[in-house]
Amino acid sequence: MSSIMTDFTPISIADKQQLLATLCEQLEDAVFILDADLRYLAVNASYEMIIGYSETFILGRPLGIYAAEFLSEEERVVLKDIIQQLDINGFYENDFSMPNRYGQVIECHMTYRKICIEQRVYYACMVRDISSIVKDRKQVAHLLNYDQITGLPNRKVFLSQTSDLLLDSYQEVVIVRLNIDRYRNLASLLGPDDINTLVEDFVSRVKDLKLDNLHCFSHFGGDDFALLFECTDANLIRHQLDSLMQMCERPFSLNGNTTTDTNIYCHISVGVSYFPENGDDLKELLAKAEKALHYVKQQGGDDICWYDTTINEATDDSLRLEAELRDAFNEGQFIPYYQPKFELKTGIITGFEALVRWQHPTRGLLKPHHFINAIINNRLSFELFSQMAIQIAKQLAIWRQKGFCQHICVNADAAEFSHPDFFDMVNRLLKEYAISSHQFHIEVTESSLIQRHSNIRQKLNLLKELGVFLALDDFGTGYASLSYLQEYPFDFIKIDKSFISNITTDHIQRAIVKAILDLATALDMQVIAEGIETEEQRDVLLDMGCQQGQGYWFGKPVAANVATEMLVRQYAS
Going from the first residue of the chain to its last (573 residues), give the mean pLDDT of each consecutive group of 10, the final group possibly shorter: 61 73 78 90 89 89 73 79 87 86 86 90 90 81 86 93 91 94 86 90 94 94 94 90 91 63 82 93 93 87 90 77 90 95 93 95 91 85 93 95 93 80 92 91 77 70 90 72 78 90 91 91 92 94 94 93 94 85
Task: Report pLDDT for 572.
Answer: 87
* 419 and 560 share one domain: yes
In a domain, 459, yes or no: yes
> Quick one: which of 422, 314, 418, 332 has its CA closest to 374?
314
Task: Report pLDDT for 374.
Answer: 86
In a domain, 223, yes or no: yes
Task: Report pLDDT for 253.
Answer: 83
Residue 507 sits in a domain of what CATH number?
3.20.20.450
> Quick one: which of 50, 58, 63, 53 has its CA closest to 125?
63
In a domain, 7, yes or no: no
Of 254, 273, 307, at which residue does a domain stop?
A: 307
* 291 and 336 share one domain: no
d(CA 84, CA 88) in angstroms, rounded, equals 6
Task: Report pLDDT for 489.
Answer: 87
User: Structurally, how many domains does the chain consist of?
Assistant: 3
For residue 24, how many other CB atoms are within 10 A of its CB? 19
Residue 60 sits in a domain of what CATH number?
3.30.450.20
CA–CA distances in Å: residue 88 to residues 62, 92, 93, 228:
20, 10, 13, 46
The continuous run of DSSP H or E covering 174 comes out as strand 172-180
For residue 332, how many other CB atoms are within 10 A of its CB? 11
541, 500 Cβ separation under 8 angstroms = yes
| Amino acid at residue number 416 | E
In a domain, 314, yes or no: no
* 299 and 331 share one domain: no
* 405 and 472 share one domain: yes
Task: Report pLDDT for 546.
Answer: 93
d(CA 249, CA 133) in angstroms, rounded, equals 46
d(CA 347, CA 362) in angstroms, rounded, equals 37
- The size of the chain, in residues, is 573
In a domain, 139, yes or no: no
* 177 and 90 share one domain: no
Q: Quickly list H helices, 333-453.
A: 372-377, 381-401, 414-417, 422-432
Task: Report pLDDT for 184.
Answer: 86
* 358 and 330 share one domain: yes
Of 265, 281, 307, at which residue does a domain stop?
A: 307
Angle between helices 192-209 and 236-247 (to 10 degrees): 140
* 90 and 152 share one domain: no
Of 102, 133, 164, at which residue does a domain stop?
A: 133
147, 154 Cβ separation under 8 angstroms = yes
d(CA 153, CA 476) in angstroms, rounded, equals 45
* 388 and 293 share one domain: no
* 298 and 341 share one domain: no
* 167 and 126 share one domain: no
Task: Report pLDDT for 11.
Answer: 77
In a domain, 296, yes or no: yes
Buried b (16+ CB within 10 A) or exposed e, 311-331: beeeeeebeebeebbeebeee
* 367 and 284 share one domain: no
178, 211 Cβ separation under 8 angstroms = no
In a domain, 140, yes or no: no
In a domain, 437, yes or no: yes
pTM: 0.56
* 262 and 150 share one domain: yes
Residue 191 sits in a domain of what CATH number?
3.30.70.270
CA–CA distances in Å: residue 514 to residues 323, 522, 536:
47, 12, 16
The alpha carbons of the chain give a radius of gyration, in whole angstroms, of: 39
d(CA 77, CA 86) in angstroms, rounded, equals 14
Domain that holds residue 410: 319-572
